[in-house]
Amino acid sequence: MALCSGPHKAGVSQSLRDGSLQVPAAGLRRLPARHVPIVPAQPLKIRPAPAAGTVTPAATAARPAASASAAATATAAPQGSLPPAAGPSGSANDFANFKKAAHSGANIVPLVQRLFSDQLTPVLAYRCLVRDGDTEAPSFLFESVVNGDQQGRYSFVGAMPAKEIVATQKRVVVMDHEAGTSEVSEIDDPMLVPENITRSWKPAAVEGLPAVFTGGWVGYAGYDTVRYVYGGKLPFSSAPVDDRALPDMHLALYNDVVVFDQATKIVYAISWVHVGAKELGSDAALREAYDGGAARLKHLSALLNSPPPPLQGGEVGLALGQRPASPGKSNMTREQFLGAVGATKEHILAGDIFQLVLSQRFERRTFATPFEVYRALRVVNPSPYMVYMQARGAIIVSSSPEILCRVDRQRVVTNRPLAGTRRRGASTEEDAALERELLADGKECAEHVMLVDLGRNDVGKVAVSGSVKVRKLMEVERYSHVMHISSTVTGDLLPELDSWDALRAALPAGTVSGAPKVRAMQIIDELEAAKRGPYGGGIGHVSFTGAMDMALGLRTMVIPTNRDDTTYKYNRAITTATNETRREWVMHLQAGAGVVADSVPEAEYEETVNKAAALGRAIDLAEAAFLGTSQ
């Protein structure tokens, strides 16, 4: 393993490995917050299941009403399907085995249909579930590229959540789409709402399902959810101006999920059925629950087996490594940003902090749709966490390389800081030379070591004493266009805690805040122009097993929706050569730079511009490919 060279690393590597650096105990506090109104839930659009042999336009997937005959057809394999996955005793896709699973102590049981993936991709599957113009339907598409050029094994698609939780400061709206209800409450820590629901889950262990996310919560916990944790030290009243009115947290509960296994070429259509005291007390009620799940599964499989909707093609004709001339208009002037860097350095010299990550937000306007931009981003910047997510108030398009918080089924917590960057070389020799240069850069390595120590501290808050380990230290990871220094910190989660506690401890990552974390965030509140929103928070999922995988909200575009105020009036439109009318979209690209004592303000400014411009290249490609513009 290559380590940094230079005097800054003396003694650091060994102390990180043997645990001699102290991890202070820290209690996680929760804060009161102000009341902020929220837009009530809108009714979701319904799509009927297609009849056999019919072709219907793609639309948002719907939950059909359960019927007495649904169970009889649930296991009938549609065209192109495989036999159903094995259940607790043979198959969970028949009522006898479903009943056995329900009475074994489980309160959620999956029904599964396996399909061939030969004629289906994750992008097409998403379009089978959500029609092209339905940009407000909560839904998601997760994909992955590892090591810069290898497709991740699993992809995930979902639409039509059963519930949604929307938190703005301490006001929480819980929308139950199955019951048709909406409840509003106020709570100091809104994360307790999904956490309490998660703790109630007891999923059935079904053979044949991949040991990955197959259903549960999907959404984001924005940067400002850290204010739920640190109480009066970071009140919402001290936050920068909120100019977008986005929720601080949005989570949707998906009982119906599509999982692609790229290795086996199998698509899993999964519908989870919730079982309570009512169902366990009556065979008729249990049968009704089973019939409902079977009907949903049949409908989901039918959508995936129906002819896919048309997907516009396009040529990848741009030089992808060439950055745009500008990432767009910033919410800070150049002079304001340089002044903020200067103020940060004064805090460092005064001993308040060691490092601070200062960011600015750029705005691009485009007639390319968010989904087209996502398709382009997959080409421009393939990353471990590729995300297209339609949430309340915004669409999120992301290509994050970094874990914020991961808790696996064995309750191992993982924190994985990425810091220190070089571009990829044009040849193998240049690539190796750039790696050596990166590991010899004292500033880059010193910043990374600080972040590793922060990661140890975050994991140590929730881990069993003595279990915190630095599994990998300062290794170089390669991505499509850049390489980063990476380290991996793990620990065993305390028995009385869960993945939500691990998330609270991790928020926000040191790579988007600084060190010491709380004081750095207080200074960020003073210096930045607006609330960060999803940028710098966590984007990902929590499964029915309680496992969590949250990516850090970096390399992320936030596209506000449902806006009709003077700031974001989507009042422009164009008509294409094919008489297609397109609306204009506002896309926010936020990027930060780590400021330390010897930082050059102009260099830190250029770093944020370059990062945002590189992300904006996906917008350029989408416009060139799907609108026919030239860049």
The catalytic residues are 484, 511, 535, 555, 594
Strand partners, 390: 139, 395
One-letter amino acid of 313: G
What distances in angstroms separate CA 421 from CA 275, 286, 434, one per listed residue? 49, 55, 10
Q: Is 209:270 a contact under the CB 8 Å cutoff?
A: yes
Query: In 245-333, where does DSSP find H-type helix?
Result: 277-280, 283-305
- Please give, one letter per residue, the 3-state secondary structure of 43-80: CCCCCCCCCCCCCCCCCCCCCCCCCCCHHHHHCCCCCC
Least Cα distance to 196 among 227, 174, 225, 168 occurs for 174
How many Å apart are CA 630 and CA 256, to the nearest integer? 41
Residue 563 burial (CB count, 10 A): 15
Strand partners, 483: 422, 478
What distances in angstroms separate CA 599 from CA 341, 446, 576, one per listed residue? 8, 13, 47
Least Cα distance to 331 among 535, 523, 168 occurs for 535
CA 391 to chain centre: 11
Tokens of 185: 């409450």
Q: What are phi and psi of 239, to 5 degrees?
A: -70, 155
Residue 502 burial (CB count, 10 A): 28
Give, as one character, the DSSP assignment of residue 107. S
Least Cα distance to 29 among 626, 570, 615, 518 occurs for 518
Strand partners, 592: 359
How many Å apart are CA 484 and CA 383, to the nearest integer? 12
- 40-74 burial, b for 16+ CB within 10 Å, e for fewer? ebeebeebebbeeeeeeebbbbbbbebeeebbeeb
Angle at 559 between CA 390 and CA 32, to 5 degrees: 80
- 140-159 burial, b for 16+ CB within 10 Å, e for fewer? bbbbbbeebeeebebbbbbb
Q: Is 341:334 a contact under the CB 8 Å cutoff?
A: no
Q: Is 457:478 a contact under the CB 8 Å cutoff?
A: no
Angle at 153 between CA 152 and CA 156, to 5 degrees: 90
Q: Is 349 helix (H, G, I), strand (E, B) or coil?
A: helix
Least Cα distance to 87 among 63, 104, 68, 64 occurs for 104
Q: Is 291:67 a contact under the CB 8 Å cutoff?
A: yes
